[in-house]
Structure 1
Amino acid sequence: MTARKRFGIGKMLAALFVLLFAGVSVALAQAWDALGHSAEGARLVRMQASPQWHDGRFHNPQPLANDDLWKILVGAFHKSDDATPKQPVPVVLDKRSDFAVPPASGLRVTWLGHATTLVEIGGHALLIDPIWSDRASPVTWAGPKRWYAPPLALADLPPIDAVLISHDHYDHLDRATIVAMKGWTNKFIVPLGVGAHLAGWGIPEERIIELDWWESSKLPGLEIVAVPARHTSGRYLFDRDKTLWAGFAMIAANQRVYYSGDTGMTPQFADIGNRLGPFDLSLMQIGEYDEAWPDWHLNPEQAIQAQQMVKGKLMLPVHHGLLDLAYHSWTEPMDRALAAAEKAGVRMVIPRPGESIEPANAPDAAIAAHWWPSLPARASASGDKMAAQAMDESVKPSAKETQ
C-alpha cells in the first residue's frame, strides 16, 4: 500500500471518528439536559418550608415499602408474555376540529394513553402529564417505547389553558414535549420543585405555578388544587424525592374532576373526598403495579377502593395501555379493574386511546366497552389467585360487547 493510500484511509478514519464523536457528544448533551435541573434560590427556600420536606428531601406521611431487589429479579422471570401488545392497539385518531365545539355538558375528557389526558372543564382546556415522545426516557434510542403514535398531534390540540404535571418521572414529564410548548401561552401547574426542570428547559418563570399539597391556583371559573399522593420522584440516581409529587382536583362551578397522579394506597384519599368531593369523574391510576413495589402504584382493586374513598361518581382508568413498565400483561389492569368495579358497583368507563367521554352521558351502570383482547389470566409470583379468578370472569366479553 502506497503512502498516499495510507494517508487517504487515515483521513477517512479520522473523519469518521470526528463524526462519531460529534454524534455521541450531541446525544450525551441531550440526555444530560433531559435529566432535568435542580432547584436553587427562592425556589429551594420555598420547598424547604413545606411540611412534606425534611432531611433534605420530600417525604410521604406513610413510609413506602418498595424497591425489593429480590422480588424485582424474581418478577422478571415471571413476566407476562403479553406485557406488550402483539397486535395493533385500537386507537381513535383525533383532529383539531373534534374540539372546535365545547362539550354540551361542560365536561369532556379525552384519554390519549398512559396518563396523558385532555380535560375540558369550566370553559378551559387542561392537559395532564403530556407525553408525545416515542420513549419515556432521557434518550431517544433506549427506554420504554410507546405502542402507538399519539392519537392527537401536539399541533392539533385545542388552545391549552394549563398543563398539569403530577411529578417528574419520565413517563409523566417529557422534556421534548415541554420544549415544544415554549412558544405557547399556557400556564404550567406543577408540584414544588418541578418548576426547576421547566425553567431549565426554557419555560418562562411567569408561566410556572408550583404548588404544595392543598394549595391551589385559579383560572376564571376554575380552581385547580394539588392534592396528596403516595409516591416518589427523581430523574436520575442522586435526585430521588428532591421534587414533590401530587394529584389534582379540578373544580368548576358545577363539575369536579380528580386525577390521582401516581400513588399507592393511602388514607389521604378519604381526606380528598371529604374536603373536595364528590367528583363527577376520577382519573384513577390502575397500571404498572407489582408486589416488588406495592406502595408505588395502586393495583386495580385498590384503585376501585380509592375511587370510593374520594367519593367519585364515575371512574376513568389511566396509567396503562401505552408503555411496558411492569410484569403484568398489558390488558390485566383493565380486566382486574372491570371485575372489581362490577363487584363493588362502581361506575367506570374504559375508553380507547383517543376516545372522548362526557361523564354526563355515561349510563348509570358500571360500563366498559371491551375493546381489548381477551388474554389468559396470570397469577402474580406470590400467587394472587383471587385476582386471577376475577380476571378470568372479566376477560370474556359479553355477546352485546362483541356485536
Structure 2
Amino acid sequence: MGRFDDRATRPSRGPADILRWKVVDALAGKNRRDPGGFLTPTRPWSRDLVASDAPSLTWIGHASFLLSMGGTRVLLDPVWRDAPGPLKRLVPPGIPLAELPSIDAVLLTHNHRDHLDTWTLQRLGNHPVYVAPLGHAAVLRSIGADKVVELDWWESTRVGELEITLVPARHWSMRVPWDRNEALWGGYLIRGPEGTAYHSGDTGFFDDFARIGEHAGTIDWAMLPIGAYEPRWFMEPQHMNPADALEAYRLLRARTFVAMHWGTFRLTDEPTGEPPERTRALWTEHGLPEEALWILDVGETRKLER
C-alpha cells in the first residue's frame, strides 16, 4: 500500500495494461500511428523581457515554464534532459539551461520523470527554494537542495511576493516500481501582485477544477495539459484530452487558457500536431475569444497583463 493510494487515480494502470497497449493492441493494429511531418513550432525567447523582471511566462516545453511575477522567478516542472527513450526531445528547451536567469523557486508537481528530472535539478543547484508535494524531500535533498518545502493539498507557502498553494490533481506517483503513490502529486495556484497563475500538473479530468476555481477567486492564466491522451482507454484516468482541458478551463473560470504537455516528448499514440489542432477547433466551435487561448511556441515569452 502506498502512502497516498486513497487519493490516486482510479482505475490504476499497471503492467497488464501496458502489455495490452504496447504488445497486444500493437500486434492487432489497434494503436494509432503518427503520420509524421509535423514540427513543433519554436521561437527565440525574449531575453530583454525575461531579464527585466517584468511579469512574463515562457514555455520551455512539455510542462516546463519560466514564470516571473512580483519580481520572483519560478521554474515549474523543469526538464532540460534529452535522453534516449521517452525523454528524447522533439525540440530543444525554449531557453538553454546555461542562459537561465537567477531562479528563486522551483515548483514540482509530482515525481514522474517527465516532470521531475534530477539531472536538471542538480544543475539548478541549491539557490532556489524547492516546493513539492509531500514525500519529495528525500529525492530533492539527494541532489543537493537544502531549501525544501513540502505541501499537502490546500497548504500554502510564500516565496518573495508570491503565495504558492498546492491543489489537488487526478493522478498518481512513482519513480521506481516499489514506491508507487508514496509521494503526493498536485497542481499549483501562484498568487502575485499581477494576478493568479495556475499550473495543473499532470491530471485527468475531475470535478475539483470547480473547487480550485472557487478557492482562487480569479485565475488569470491557467496552464492546462492538452496532450498525451491516446489510447483513451489507458490514459483517461490520468491525462486530459483537448475536450477535457476545455471543460476544466470552464470549471476553473479562468481568463486565459495556456496549453502545455504536448509537442516535446513522444509519450503516447496521438499524432504530435493533433492536440493544438483539436484545441483550436474546439475553441472556435465554442465561440471563445481568440486572445484568451495561448498555444505558445516552445521558447515563446508573453507578458502577463490583466
d(CA) in 2 for partners of 1:99 and 1:359?
12
User: Is 1:149 matched up with 2:95?
Assistant: no
TM-score normalised by length of structure 2 = 0.89
Runs (5+) with no aligned partner, structure 2: none
8 A contact 1:216–1:225 mirrored in 2: yes
User: Is 1:300 matched up with 2:242?
Assistant: yes
Q: What SS does the aligned partner of 1:269 have?
A: helix
d(CA) in 2 for partners of 1:263 and 1:60?
16
1:351 deviation in Å?
Answer: 1.1
Q: What SS does the aligned partner of 2:149 have?
A: strand
8 A contact 1:288–1:328 mirrored in 2: yes
d(CA) in 2 for partners of 1:111 and 1:258?
14
Q: Which residue number in structure 1 is paired with residue 202 of structure 2?
A: 262
1:108 deviation in Å?
Answer: 1.3
1:185 deviation in Å?
Answer: 1.4
Aligned pairs (5 A) from 1:101-250? 101-103=52-54, 107-135=55-83, 141-182=84-125, 184-204=126-146, 207-250=147-190
Runs (5+) with no aligned partner, structure 1: 1-54, 136-140, 362-403
* Structure showing the higher helix proportion among its residues: 1
d(CA) in 2 for partners of 1:296 and 1:228?
13
1:151 deviation in Å?
Answer: 2.3
d(CA) in 1 for partners of 2:49 and 2:204?
35
User: Is 1:360 matched up with 2:305?
Assistant: yes
Q: Which residue number in structure 2 is paired with residue 94 of structure 1?
A: 45
Which whole-Å deviations, capped at 9, do the CAs of 1:8-53 have from their partners, x for residues lacking one?
xxxxxxxxxxxxxxxxxxxxxxxxxxxxxxxxxxxxxxxxxxxxxx
d(CA) in 2 for partners of 1:298 and 1:88?
22
d(CA) in 1 for partners of 2:64 and 2:25?
27
d(CA) in 2 for partners of 1:74 and 1:340?
32
Q: Which residue number in structure 2 is paired with residue 58 of structure 1?
A: 4
Q: Rate the CA distance shift 1:299–1:187 in 2: closer, same or farther, 3 A.
A: same
Q: What amino acid is aligned across from residue 357 of structure 1 in structure 2?
A: R
d(CA) in 1 for partners of 2:67 and 2:6?
28
User: Is 1:272 matched up with 2:212?
Assistant: yes
8 A contact 1:117–1:130 mirrored in 2: yes
Q: What SS does the aligned partner of 2:176 have?
A: coil
d(CA) in 1 for partners of 2:48 and 2:9?
47
Q: What SS does the aligned partner of 1:177 have?
A: helix
Larger Rg: 1
User: Is 1:350 matched up with 2:289?
Assistant: no
* Aligned residue-pair number: 295
RMSD across aligned positions (CA): 2.1
Deviates more, 1:125-134 or 1:72-81: 72-81
TM-score normalised by length of structure 1 = 0.69
* Structure showing the higher strand proportion among its residues: 2
Q: What amino acid is aligned across from residue 59 of structure 1 in structure 2?
A: D
8 A contact 1:165–1:189 mirrored in 2: yes
Task: Identify the structure with bigger relative contact order (alpha carbons < 8 Å, sequence gap 6+).
Answer: 2
